[in-house]
Structure 1
Amino acid sequence: MDHSSPDLERWVDKVPRPDVMDSSGTKNGQPHYEVEIREVEQKIHRDLPATTVWGYNGQYPGPTIEAEQGEPISVRWKNKLPDEHLLPEDPTIHSDIVPYDTTGVRIVTHLHGGNVEAESDGHAQAWFTRDFQETGPAFEKKDYYYVNEQPPATLWYHDHSLGITRLNVYAGLAGFYLLRNERERNLDLPDGEYEIPLVLQDRSFNEDGSLFYPTAVSDEQGGGDESYPDPGIVPQFYGDTSVVNGKAWPRLSVEPRSYRFRLLNGANSRFYSLKLLQYDESSNEIGNEGPPFVQIGNDGGLLSSPIKIDDRLELGSSQRADVVVDFTKYAGETLLLHNDAPAQYRGEMSSTDDDIVSLPEIMLVDVGGTGDTRDNDQLPDNLTQIPEISVESVDNERYLTLNGSATDDYGRQLYLLGTGQEPDGLELDDPVTEEPALGDTEIWSFANLSAMSHPMHLHLVHFQVLGRQSLGDYDPAEDEINPGALEEPAPYERGWNDVVTVNPAEVVHVIVHFGEYDGIFNDQTGTYMWHCHMIEHEDHDMMRPLEVRPRTDDGETHTK
């Protein structure tokens, strides 16, 4: 990417906290929200001119929706955007099924991590333009219904419109959705002002403050070629500026006590590998390790018990980590949230290996010298009960390949998802191959044949990670999956997940139940999506449909 953002002074803006959204009233006796998606001007940095962004209710990131487990809500996402896109579109992406000549910007909102009905999932083809003037072929309803029958968790909402998801999210269309319950409140975790949602993103800017997003493949992304469309999609995007909660290079003030941080990787493609380090701001020197992250939850809610992260906390695009940090022993100090993941992430690598756009400095944390100095790090030994999905209950096993060797009609690299029968990959509009029945339990084995890591996301469901093994050690036609012989999931991968990172030359096995399980989640059928959550990959063409069919007891046999 041959572009450098303006040289901005770091650590001059405070980390803002997203507003909590108030309901607009009720519908059928339940809270109802009216959310306007608008174009606004927002100061991303003190020394940058105001940046034009898109925001839910005119805010970037969008305001936080707080909901209660077991209490449904409805939301009308209202498109009030201009007729022209803020960023250049590539009309060659899904050009046979996306009407790029439509007047108005296409959007659709997906509740990421939501166990919701298909009509409210934010299908990529359920888009709509301003005031619902035009709608996509999968559009079914204006008011989305979120039943909230799932464990309390850090969810988030973001745009999911086919072919332009990367642009719409980059423009600002993302926000938190926090699901709570009384049991969690009784755990006495840090709350109120001591609970802070933090969305980590990377952005690039022009001198006038506008967002910069590349419109053509550069040499470092695989070789520029005059035959490529311009504007054209890029294989990945890595910005050169850290943005947290909509502020560039910010700092956060905390008291010397425990805080709960709800961390979200909201970047398009970037991985984060995080640790708090002591920092001398006057010399710009990094010192010893700071307080550790104690992880209490991930994508799907609380872990069964707290886990101290001794090394670094890894977050692929769209992954969440619910962590507690005790700052008691660091009164008066400044800490740096440090990222050691290179842009082109391939698992165990350091940013020192990065020859693209490394982003080691994320934000500063200033620990006050006075205030509430309670050592509040005495977390409960047991946070929640997580039922284990039994391998003996599996109805079907699927071998699913992640590929990066294909090219499109213009010679651009194409990332695809495949099956045991079609290992080289299928495109989005090929016939559905993943068709579990309601009530089925399945093992999905993601086999990464490409040269980079991919964060794989399933809509609708949460799964449990069984473990990993080398790609060469598993033949789906001959080998049984033995969880005891696999490399165990990382501590932060235990519990319920909706994203899992699959590194090159490895197979990651996850077990998933489609429907209500042990009193949690709910039964849903219909068409959903599964995809890589590097959004450039998702747009082109690393996304496939997933259809959950009604239960039939026909004795059908399932094959890998």
Structure 2
Amino acid sequence: MNDKNTTPVRPLSRRKLLLAAGATGTMALAGCAGRTDDQTGSPDEDDSNPGDEQPRGHRSPALERWVDEVPRPATQEPTGTKDGQPYYEIEMRESQQKLHRDLPETTVWGYEGSFPGPTIEAEQGEPIYVRWTNNLPDEHLFPVDTTVHGDIIPYDIEGVRTVTHLHGGNVEAASDGKARGWFTRDFAETGPDFEKKDYYYANDQPPATLWYHDHALGITRLNVYAGLSGFYLLRNDHERSLGLPDGEYEIPLVLQDRKFTDDGAMYYPDGPVESESPDPSIVPQFYGDVSTVNGKAWPRLSVEPRLYRFRLLNGANSRYYRLALLEYDEQSGETGAAGPEFVQIGTDGGLLPSPVELDGRLELGSAQRADVLVDFSEYAGETLLVHNDAPAMYRGQSRAEADDVEPLPEIMLIDVEEGEQTETNVPETLTRVPELSLEAVDTERYLPLLRSSDEYGRPLFLLGSEGNQSGHRLTDPATETPTVGDTELWSIPNLTGMSHPIHLHLVHFQVLGRQSVGYDPGDEIDPDSLRPPKQFERGWSDVVSVDPGEVVHILVHFGEYEGLFTDQTGEYMWHCHMIEHEDHDMMRPLDVRSTSEEGSDD
């Protein structure tokens, strides 16, 4: 392999770094309740980490479960054309929405005033234009911590900052929705990376379950929590020819957690518990105590005894989900035997080569998607529970967890109607997914996930590099500077005490495998010695979960690959998609260079 990312001074090895880092908590490579055999690390008490306090205690009012039907997001229609292509104007605005039968109407911020926003349906190879307009109030719904990037964010300007990112989009840099490309109402104020009002989405990529959401620097966690997200479904004729469930039998489902006050307002904490932090203050993570699906609290879904297609999205700020369907006695509230299996047909980046019947639970980190089939034909008249066994602090631990971090085992109910069973037909093959090759790698990168503290003693999660294993800040010069057309190997060790879902803008990648953190930069990688990708993360991904104590190796190609995707250059982002982490510096620029710029790193 050719390594274009060499550094003049060899940094500390990973083994030496572990010995030196105990005081900062990087040794907390710990497990948690609900561990499974494939999880790495070993249980280890660690009460010494500063800033581990959870959000200030608040409990939602008691709500009767399973009283509302799951709503289905509306489909957005174009408002006209531009350059002969569909043109959309989608407004961000405040509205009132009934999120539970027994709650007063809740104030939400939504695209077209809806939480979640309307679904955009696009066709592969047919570009569209979207103007995302900001008509939000001047004051935020939730407490804003002005110490987060206070040196580069003008918190004193009038209005709320927003910018929309098409998550999973292989798009031009000017339309990526970068964190510093924000704008206020009527574009009165714009950020330093703002380039244009009308975003251009080429849609020249495989059909997939994409989504759009706010990405404004320093307040993404608040804007998304307020409701600013929605589905973007990309389709093509080949997918339609497969005979997959469609129409009313294809249902997008976004899973999120929320907290509420007695008057129906969504609650977001104004700081950690018993902390010397600023008031208000960002919190390390957020975990709600109420499950919402498509914006409805603890709902139920009625289905026929037949095959369905679910487009699942983890839209939560921090929470992981590990999902299974269980038989459920609604009267007693007890679960029974396993229900129908999830058959996965697609991941973040589109269809898998063939369907995969999962032999365990389906794991979704924040922002991950799963395209699944579920056959209800043998469950006529039964009730099933969508059950989650992921602890809140996923594959990690915190001293305050027992009191203030909420597990969320019950997600929604599914009622299978009585009636004649419909014959099911799951295609044996779905599409061709070309494999990225380790032998074709041009550049290798060692990119550790690190934990530190900020000036207030709050947890600060950072992204490092081989040249800086203490961690970079967002505003440090770009260190990830790939050349379009190259294939790279990114080795991502997690030296913190919890799992992180890592997202790359622009590109999709393939998971090569995992190993323990004993791996050092420059070590030869033997693919046969790695733990292979999990069943549900084969194919193209744009988010990968990295558990404590492990290194995940991913293969990333920048640009067109065997007729898929497009060549794009410019500045993008990569970051943890636990949104509190993303807002608080666990985000870095990704500067994709043209071949003429190759070798021009600072």
- Coarse TM-score class (shorter-chain normalised): over 0.9
Contact 2:386 2:412 (8 Å CA) reproduced? yes
| Cross-structure match for 1:332 | 381
Distance change >3 Å, CA 22–CA 553, structure 1 → 2: closer
1:510 corresponds to 2:510: no
What is the Cα-based RMSD across aligned positions, in Å? 1.6
Alignment of 1:195-274 (within 5 A): 195-218=250-273, 224-225=274-275, 227-274=276-323
- Kindly provide the amino acid, as one letter, of the partner of residue 265 in structure 2: S
Structure 1 residue 285 displacement after superposition: 0.8
Structure 1 residue 4 displacement after superposition: 0.5
Partner of residue 497 from structure 1, selected from 541, 545, 561: 541
1:13 counterpart SS class:
coil
Structure 2: runs of 5 or more not aligned: 1-54
Structure 1 residue 310 displacement after superposition: 1.6
1:374 corresponds to 2:422: yes
Contact 1:344 1:354 (8 Å CA) reproduced? no
Partner of residue 386 from structure 1, selected from 430, 433, 444: 433
Contact 2:508 2:556 (8 Å CA) reproduced? yes
Structure 1 runs (4+) greater than 4 angstroms displaced: 352-355
Contact 1:5 1:206 (8 Å CA) reproduced? yes
Alignment of 1:120-269 (within 5 A): 120-218=175-273, 224-225=274-275, 227-269=276-318
Give me the whole-angstrom Cα distance separating, in 1, the residues matched to 2:592 and 2:151.
Answer: 26
| Cross-structure match for 2:109 | 54
The alignment's TM-score, normalised by the length of structure 2, stands at: 0.89
Give me the whole-angstrom Cα distance separating, in 1, the residues matched to 2:426 and 2:357.
Answer: 11
1:95 counterpart SS class:
coil
Contact 2:108 2:115 (8 Å CA) reproduced? yes
Give me the whole-angstrom Cα distance separating, in 2, the residues matched to 1:480 and 1:432.
Answer: 26
Give me the whole-angstrom Cα distance separating, in 2, the residues matched to 1:322 and 1:91.
Answer: 38
Give me the whole-angstrom Cα distance separating, in 2, the residues matched to 1:431 and 1:394.
Answer: 24
1:170 counterpart SS class:
helix
- Kindly provide the amino acid, as one letter, of the partner of residue 281 in structure 1: E
Structure 1 residue 553 displacement after superposition: 8.6
Partner of residue 508 from structure 2, selected from 452, 462, 465: 462
- Kindly provide the amino acid, as one letter, of the partner of residue 16 in structure 1: P
Give me the whole-angstrom Cα distance separating, in 1, the residues matched to 2:391 and 2:348.
Answer: 23
The alignment's TM-score, normalised by the length of structure 1, stands at: 0.95
Contact 2:313 2:370 (8 Å CA) reproduced? yes
Contact 1:228 1:412 (8 Å CA) reproduced? yes
| Cross-structure match for 1:279 | 328
Higher relative contact order (CA 8 A, sep 6+): 2
Give me the whole-angstrom Cα distance separating, in 2, the residues matched to 1:346 and 1:182.
Answer: 41
Distance change >3 Å, CA 26–CA 285, structure 1 → 2: same
Give me the whole-angstrom Cα distance separating, in 1, the residues matched to 2:91 and 2:469.
Answer: 42
1:328 counterpart SS class:
coil
Give me the whole-angstrom Cα distance separating, in 1, the residues matched to 2:556 and 2:579.
Answer: 23
Structure 1 residue 557 displacement after superposition: 12
Structure 1: runs of 5 or more not aligned: 219-223
| Cross-structure match for 1:537 | 581
Structure 1 residue 491 displacement after superposition: 1.1
Distance change >3 Å, CA 391–CA 347, structure 1 → 2: farther
Contact 2:396 2:497 (8 Å CA) reproduced? no
Structure 1 residue 507 displacement after superposition: 0.2
Give me the whole-angstrom Cα distance separating, in 2, the residues matched to 1:248 and 1:174.
Answer: 17
Partner of residue 365 from structure 2, selected from 292, 301, 316: 316
Structure 1 residue 309 displacement after superposition: 0.9
Contact 1:342 1:354 (8 Å CA) reproduced? no
| Cross-structure match for 2:28 | none
Distance change >3 Å, CA 395–CA 245, structure 1 → 2: same
Structure 1 residue 228 displacement after superposition: 0.8
Give me the whole-angstrom Cα distance separating, in 1, the residues matched to 2:71 and 2:597.
Answer: 53
Give me the whole-angstrom Cα distance separating, in 2, the residues matched to 1:471 and 1:120.
Answer: 37
Structure 1 residue 545 displacement after superposition: 0.4
Distance change >3 Å, CA 354–CA 68, structure 1 → 2: farther
1:357 corresponds to 2:357: no
- Kindly provide the amino acid, as one letter, of the partner of residue 95 in structure 1: G
- Kindly provide the amino acid, as one letter, of the partner of residue 484 in structure 2: L
The superposition leaves residues 444-471 of structure 1 with CA deviations (integer Å, 9 ceiling, x where unpaired) of: 1111000000000000000000000000
Alignment of 1:12-31 (within 5 A): 12-31=67-86
1:32 counterpart SS class:
strand
The superposition leaves residues 228-256 of structure 1 with CA deviations (integer Å, 9 ceiling, x where unpaired) of: 10110000000000000000000000000
Contact 1:24 1:34 (8 Å CA) reproduced? yes
- Kindly provide the amino acid, as one letter, of the partner of residue 490 in structure 1: K
Give me the whole-angstrom Cα distance separating, in 2, the residues matched to 1:552 and 1:513.
Answer: 18
Identity of aligned residues (%): 69
Give me the whole-angstrom Cα distance separating, in 2, the residues matched to 1:62 and 1:298.
Answer: 21
Give me the whole-angstrom Cα distance separating, in 1, the residues matched to 2:436 and 2:597.
Answer: 21
Structure 1 residue 95 displacement after superposition: 0.2
1:66 corresponds to 2:112: no
Distance change >3 Å, CA 136–CA 553, structure 1 → 2: closer
